[in-house]
Each structure stands twice: as C-alpha cells, then as structure tokens.
Amino acid sequence: MEGLGQTLVCTGCSLLCDDIEYEMEDGVVSKLYHICMHGYDKVMFAFSPQRLKAPLLSSNGSFREVSLDEAISKAAEVLKSSKKPLLYGWSCATNEAIDLGLEIAKKLGGIFDGTMWICHGYSIYLAKKLGMGLPKLEEVLNNADHVVFWGANPGDNHLRHMSRYAVFPRGERVPRGIETRMLSAVDIRMTSTVKVAMNKLLINPGGDAELLSALISELEGKPIQREEVAGIPLKTFLEFVDVLKQRPYTAIFYGLGLTHSGKGKENVELFYRLVQLLNQNGKSCIAMPMAGHYNMVGAVIKSLDAGGGPFAIDFGEGGEVARRGESALDALLSWEYDSALIVGSDPLSSLPSEIAQRIRSIPTIVLDYRLSLTAKHADIVIPVAVPGVESGGHATRMDEEVVTLSPIGGLVGRFPSDEEVLDKLLKQL
Amino acid sequence: MSEKSKKLSPLEVYNLLPKTNCKECGYPSCIAFATNLLLGKNKLEDCPPLFRDPKYAANLEKLKTLLKPMEEMAETGIKLDPDKCTGCGNCVVVCPVNVSIEPKIAKGIGVKRFDLIFLVENGKAKILDLEKCRRFPPERINCRVCEEYCYSGAIEIF
Ligand code: SF4
Ligand code: SF4
Ligand code: SF4
Ligand code: SF4
C-alpha cells in the first residue's frame, strides 16, 4: 500500500491538525485516522464526483471545457483589460498563494480583500496594535489551568480543539488534564461546548459588553451592586470572577459570538482590556481568536504587512496603498472595481445580495476545487488542488504557527495548486 | 448523569452484611468489605459467613438483588452512535485507559493503534476493545468520563 504510515496536515480548519495518518488503495485514500468529520469531508472531496476537473470558460450562458493554458491566458486578458480588479478570498489559500495575490494586486493597482473581515481580521489587528502576542497552542496545553471559550463553539466548529490542545491533554503544569483544568464557556445558548463546561455562563444576546465591563470593574476592585449580570445570576458571576482571580493561567478562546454580536468592535476592545488587566494582576492570561478557515490568520497577517489593515487594501497607481478599509462591506459596495479574481471563496453565497449582484455583473475568474455558486456564475473557472491533500505550501495556524503542508505523494500534480495558477497568471500580466 | 448511574452507598451494603467484623474475607471490617465490593474488588462469595449461616439468607437475597445492576453492567456497557459522533476525539484523549496504553495520546496526538478502546477512523470514533474499560472487571470503577465529555451525545453508558 502506498503512503502507509505517513501523516498529512488537515486543512479543514485553522487548527491544521498535523497528525492525520492515512492509508491508500488504488490511488484513493481509503482510511484516515484521527481526523474529525469536517476534515474527513474536505480530504475526501478530492475524490468526489463533484470535484471540478477541467478548466471552464463560459460562453453564451454555458460552460465549455478548455485547457489550463487557455484558461490562464483568458484570465490574464480579463485582468489586463480591467481598470481595477478585485482580488478576493485568501483565507482558503496557502501563504505562497496570498503573496502572489498581493503581488498581482500591486502590479495591477487592484483591491486586495477577502473573508478576513467576516472572520477575525479586526481582532487580530487590534491585538497586534496593543502588542499582545499569541502563545503557541502547545503552551496552552502545558500551562493553562483555566480555559474559557467565549462566543466560540469548538464542539461544532473546531472539533479537535479541546482534545488536541486546549482541554483534555495532560500538560506539564496540568498533569491530570481535565481533572486539573477548569473549563468555562460564555455563550448566549446551550451549545455543545457550554454543555461540557464546568462554569456555564449563559448571557443575554448582546450581553458581552455588560459582562466584560462587570468583570473589569470587579478586577479593578470596584464590586458591582446588581442581582444579575447580562442575565447571569450574581452568584455564578462571582464564582467566575474567583476562578479568574485564583487560577494562575487563563487561556481565553473567543469566537464570532463575541466579535460579531452587539457592538462588535467595542466588545473586542473591552475584551482586550480584561486580558490586560488580568496580566497586570500577576496572572497569565492569553487570548486567541478561533479563526475559521484554514489560513485565515495567514491572510490577515499578510494583509497587515502589505497594507497596514487587515482587509480591503486598495493599491493605487504604482502599487501604493491608496486606501485601506475599515469596513470591507462598504468597500465592496462602493469601490470601483470592474473585474474579480476569486480564490477559494464563495462570495455569491456568503455576501449580501447587492454585492453578489455587483460581482455577477463583472467578469470573474474563480480558482476552486468545487463548483460553488460563485463558480457557477463565473466567466472562467480554474480547478485547483485540494490544499494539504493534493498540493503543499504553508499555512498559518490560529496561533500564528506556520505549518508546512504535507500532501499525499501520489496525488501531487493531479491538479495545479492555487499558487501555481497564480504564478502562471502573474507571469502573463 | 442519569439516575441509572446513581451509586450504591457502602452503608446500604454494610447494613445487610453480618456486621461481625470477623475478618474472614480478608478485610479488617465489614464496612471495608462493603466499600471494596462496590469498587468491584471482591464479590459477595468472599464473605463466607453470609453463605454459611442461614440466619443471613434473607439479607443475602436482598444483597443479590441490590447488586444485580452492577453485575449486568459488564454485559451491557457502552454504546457509541456513529450518526451522532463528530470525530472530535474527546473520548480518545479523555479515557484514562487509552492514555495508559499510548502515552502520546495524553498530549492530544493521534496514534493509530488497534489495541486502544477508542480510535477515530474516517471522521468517526470506533470502540475497538471495550473489555479494557475500567467499568469491567477486575477494576469495575464507575468511570464515565468519555460519556461526560462527548459533546455530541454519541456515547451512552448504561
Ligand atoms: S479540527 Fe480542523 S484541522 Fe483538525 S481534523 Fe478537524 S477540521 Fe481538520
Ligand atoms: S467476612 Fe463477612 S462478616 Fe466477616 S468481616 Fe468480612 S464482610 Fe464482615
Ligand atoms: S468509561 Fe472510562 S475507562 Fe471506560 S471507556 Fe469510558 S473513559 Fe474509558
Ligand atoms: S467524544 Fe463523542 S463525538 Fe467525540 S469522537 Fe468520541 S464518540 Fe465521537
């Protein structure tokens, strides 16, 4: 059997689990070990009848199959004749592909944007501005004796987060794992994560800011005088305060429930204020966003490096950054772009219909391995490899650890990677 | 935890024992015998007076009824519903037996071994060797951590 005893890196989410063992039979993956359900679906999509196989060119409302070279040169024509192309996606692309995307944007004076704004672009940006570093997940594993999930539900989304790193493993300072690690969860509903937590903090919808302010006030030595906080009974609230004060190392993982509810930005700012306060009180407290797509963090960091903002970077004439977005939604609605290159993303099904309409009305090029809604309406569709399975490169894990993908030998080369396609495209511009 | 799992208290067992502290069982007292009985470390048969002396016969019957669910535990055990399972691996890492078989699992790392209790294969957990579970003899500990931390509710212990 080929490939026996090797491991691959799962690109199902930004945990990038690197311990996936597999077995092959007749050139097809027959067994995957330790991978969760989401990762399994992603790897096996490479062998699904629905996977895109040939490059497609739309003509008169239907697609015809073309060669890769033809698709790329047509794509280059579209981009060259465009005044301002939109380069969109990136959280499901390798670091190498993102670099090339930025280069194309600079060269053509285009807009570089993507799903970073829907996810944790702003929170990562703010954490960096405040100088808050991220610890490695291994450090959390070894040291955190109190783990909090705040508006994040790994029980549905990052399925192995608790078993691989944050909660169940036995660490140096938490040798008995869950017996010595306190687990808390803040959410507006009884999620699967809240279910297994010891401290269950069920707040009113939009109550994050109220809870954060109350915690800050307690830690500043100003006890609150209320019967309940954001829907949590005072007793439960005070117990949580005690745990925060007593446990030497608290790791808080936060999700879209915190950053995208109520006044999202204010929540994130209060949240980091709490983290800073705990650190000033002699505790170790770290905070990490639960980035979704496998290279969300890579896309945010590279955008920050290139344009100073986490998304919506407008490269003006000569590649200078003309504007950077505060709200990518506004940018996508109002900015002038007249063509789009979309990499591993499906804006037509995820963005508001006004934006979807705009994208549909301009020439679009899509790089993907599935025929997404966006691909169905594109002018040029280029099938790419399933990253981590059929192609390599690097991706940045949720804790900013750069991980080298280790695709399956026998499958590499079946399809070009997003990096290879972008590289060929760039050369023709 | 469900009502079914409510533990028998050693006192309930003790009250039906001879209460003579004769030490024939090898324990210093009847209460020690009762405690260890519930941990699965000894059986009723290990208390000879209980079977020898007809005046304990009624109590013996009561004890047998009381302990029946515990004995059945070995025959019933653990159910894992693959339709609910998400392959999160919580059971794999939290199970103390899995970790003692393969120390790397204690660090959260997946290791493909077929002598474990739990292994995640193709996105779903499988029970490979249930006999190693601590609920079974010789240990017979009322462990249910895998059930407690399975967030999809796929594991059921009965
Ligand atoms: S948790 Fe994420 S990276 Fe790990 S196996 Fe599941 S989908 Fe893949
Ligand atoms: S043998 Fe029976 S009666 Fe004697 S000490 Fe043990 S339990 Fe008690
Ligand atoms: S009951 Fe305890 S020992 Fe048995 S399988 Fe579950 S975790 Fe492992
Ligand atoms: S803990 Fe439950 S959901 Fe997770 S792998 Fe085990 S059985 Fe499946």
Residue B31 and residue B82 in one domain: no
Per CATH, the number for A56-117+294-427 is 3.40.50.740
- B153: in domain: yes
Distance (Å, whole) CA A360 – CA A373 = 11
CATH code of the domain containing B138: 3.30.70.20
Q: How confident is the model at residue B62 (pLDDT cuts 50, 70, 90)?
A: very high
Q: How confident is the model at residue B72 (pLDDT cuts 50, 70, 90)?
A: low
> Considering its fold, how many domains does chain B have in total?
2
Q: Ligand 2 centroid to A352 CA: how many Å?
A: 76
pLDDT at B152 over 50: yes
CA distances to A59, A99, A146, B155 from A394, in Å = 36, 11, 31, 36
Q: How confident is the model at residue B2 (pLDDT cuts 50, 70, 90)?
A: very low
- B87: in domain: yes
| Percent of chain B at pLDDT exceeding 90 | 61
| Binding site membership of B97 for ligand 3 (Cβ less than 6 Å) | yes
Q: How many Cβ atoms sit within 10 Å of the Cβ of residue B60?
A: 17
- B108: in domain: yes
CB proximity B93 to A under 8 Å: yes
- Average pLDDT estimate for A267-291: 90
Which amino acid makes up residue A354? Answer: E
Question: What is the four-CA torsion angle of B134, B139, B140, B146, rounded to 10 degrees?
Answer: -10
pLDDT at B74 over 60: no
Q: How confident is the model at residue A319 (pLDDT cuts 50, 70, 90)?
A: low
> What residues does each domain of chain A span?
2-47, 56-117+294-427, 121-289
Look at A261 and A168; give whichever has higher pLDDT.
A168
- B17: in domain: yes
Residue B65 and residue B43 in one domain: yes
Give the model's pLDDT for residue A1: 39
Look at A122 and A227; give whichever has higher pLDDT.
A227
pLDDT at A2 over 50: no
Q: Which residue in this structure is represented by tokens 């702003």?
A: A122
pLDDT at A250 over 50: yes
Size of interface A-B (CB pairs under 8 A): 95
| Percent of chain A at pLDDT exceeding 90 | 73
Q: Are A385 and A370 a contacting pair, CB within 8 Å?
A: no
Residue B61 and residue B125 in one domain: no
Q: Are A76 and A70 a contacting pair, CB within 8 Å?
A: no
Model confidence over B4-51: pLDDT tens digits?
Answer: 345 577 788 999 999 999 999 999 899 889 887 876 667 899 999 999
Give the range among A62-76, A248-262, A400-414 with minimum mean pLDDT.
A248-262
Give the model's pLDDT for residue B5: 41
| Binding site membership of B74 for ligand 3 (Cβ less than 6 Å) | no
Tell me whether residues A19 and B109 touch, CB distance under 8 A. Answer: yes
Look at A189 and A131; give whichever has higher pLDDT.
A189
Q: Give phi and psi for A324, each to the nearest 5.
A: -125, 140
DSSP H/E element including A122: helix A121-129
Most ligand 1 atoms within 8 A of CB, residue of A7, A10, A398 to mutate: A10
Structure tokens at A423: 């590289």
Measured N-to-C along each axis, helices A264-280 and A121-129 cross at an angle, to the nearest 10 degrees, of: 40
Q: Give phi and psi for A100, each to the nearest 5.
A: -65, -40
Distance (Å, whole) CA A135 – CA A148 = 15
Q: Ligand 3 centroid to B95 CA: how many Å?
A: 5
- B125: in domain: yes
Q: How confident is the model at residue A338 (pLDDT cuts 50, 70, 90)?
A: very high
Most ligand 2 atoms within 8 A of CB, residue of B23, B38, B45, B67 to mutate: B23
Query: CA nearest B86 in A: which residue?
Result: A37
Q: Which residue in this structure is represented by tokens 């691996």?
A: B89
pLDDT at A266 over 90: no
| DSSP-assigned letter for residue A178 | G
Residue B44's domain spans which residues? 10-71
Residue B85 and residue B38 in one domain: no
Residue B103 and residue B61 in one domain: no
- Average pLDDT estimate for A347-357: 88
Query: CB-CB: which of A40, A162, A165 is closest to B122?
Result: A40
Residue B96 and residue B45 in one domain: no
pLDDT at A382 over 70: yes
**Distance (Å) from the alpha carbon of A161 to chain B's nearest alpha carbon:** 8
Tell me whether residues A162 and B90 touch, CB distance under 8 A. Answer: yes
pLDDT at A261 over 80: no
Which residue lies with its CA nearest to atom 8 of ligand 2? B30
Whether the bond into B138 is cis, omega within 30 of 0: yes
Residue B83 and residue B39 in one domain: no
CATH code of the domain containing B20: 1.10.15.40
Q: Are A240 and A199 a contacting pair, CB within 8 Å?
A: yes
- B4: in domain: no
| Binding site membership of B116 for ligand 3 (Cβ less than 6 Å) | no
What's the whole-number average pLDDT of chain A? 91
**Distance (Å) from the alpha carbon of A256 to chain B's nearest alpha carbon:** 20
Show residues of chain B in contact with A163, CB under 8 Å: 88-90, 92-94, 108
Q: The pTM is what?
A: 0.85
pLDDT at A307 over 80: no
ipTM score for this prediction: 0.92
Distance (Å, whole) CA A143 – CA A51 = 42
Give the model's pLDDT for residue B70: 67
* Closest by Cα among A123, A203, B142, B53 to A214: A203
Who contacts A219 (Cβ-Cβ below 8 Å, separation ≥6)? A241, A244, A245, A274, A277, A278, A281
Distance (Å, whole) CA A110 – CA A117 = 18
Fold held by A121-289: Dimethylsulfoxide Reductase; domain 2 (3.40.228)
Which of B20, B51, B71 is the endpoint of a domain? B71
Who contacts A383 (Cβ-Cβ below 8 Å, separation ≥6)? A51, A52, A53, A54, A55, A368, A369, A415
Give the model's pLDDT for residue A324: 62
Who contacts A152 (Cβ-Cβ below 8 Å, separation ≥6)? A158, A193, A253, A254, A255, A256, A257, A258, A290
Give the range among A143-157, A253-267, B90-104 with minimum mean pLDDT.
A253-267
Strands, DSSP E only, in A26-117?
28-33, 56-59, 62-65, 85-89, 111-114
- Average pLDDT estimate for A382-394: 97
Q: Which residue in this structure is represented by tokens 């009847």?
A: B30
Q: Are A427 and A320 a contacting pair, CB within 8 Å?
A: no
Give the range among A90-99, A270-279, B110-119 with minimum mean pLDDT.
A270-279
- Select from B1, B93, B116, B152 the residue whose CB has the most chain A CBs within 10 Å, as the one to mutate to test that interface: B93
Q: How many Cβ atoms sit within 10 Å of the Cβ of residue A247?
A: 20
Q: Are A185 and A149 a contacting pair, CB within 8 Å?
A: yes
* Closest by Cα among A198, A182, A202, A199 to A190: A202
